[in-house]
Amino acid sequence: MKDVRALILTGFGINCEEETAAAFRLAGAEADIHHLNDVFNEKCSIHDYHVIGFPGGFSFGDDIAAAKVLANKLKYRKIISGRLFMDEMEKFLGDGKYIMGICNGFQVLVKTGLLPDTLEDHSQQVTLTYNDSGKFEDRWITCKVNPESRTPFLQGIDLIPLPVRHGEGKLLIKDEKVQDDIRSNALNCMSYCDPDGNVTSEYPLNPNGSELNCAALTDKSGHVFGLMPHPEAFTSIYNHPNWGHLREHASNDDGDGLKIFRNIVRAIGGE
Q: Which residues are within 8 A (CB) of 230 and not within 5 positions of it... i.e. 6 or more apart?
A: 16, 19, 56, 102, 103, 162, 163, 164, 165, 257
18 HSE (CA, 13 A, CB side): 1
**If 0-12 CB within 10 Å is exposed, 13-18 middle and 19+ buried, where does residue 155 land?**
middle
Provide the sign of the torsion angle of the four alpha carbons 188, 190, 194, 196, taken in this order: positive
Neighbours of 252 (CB within 10 A): 9
Based on the residue annotation, tell me whether 245 is a catalytic residue of this protein: no
CA distance 268 to 258: 16
Active-site residue (options: 16, 103, 193, 214): 103
> Does 166 participate in catalysis according to the annotation?
no
Point out the catalytic residue in the list 34, 50, 166, 230.
230
Pick the catalytic residue from 19, 88, 137, 232: 232
| Catalytic annotation present for 103 | yes
Whether omega before 161 lies within 30 degrees of 0, making that bond cis, reads no
The set of catalytic residues is: 103, 230, 232
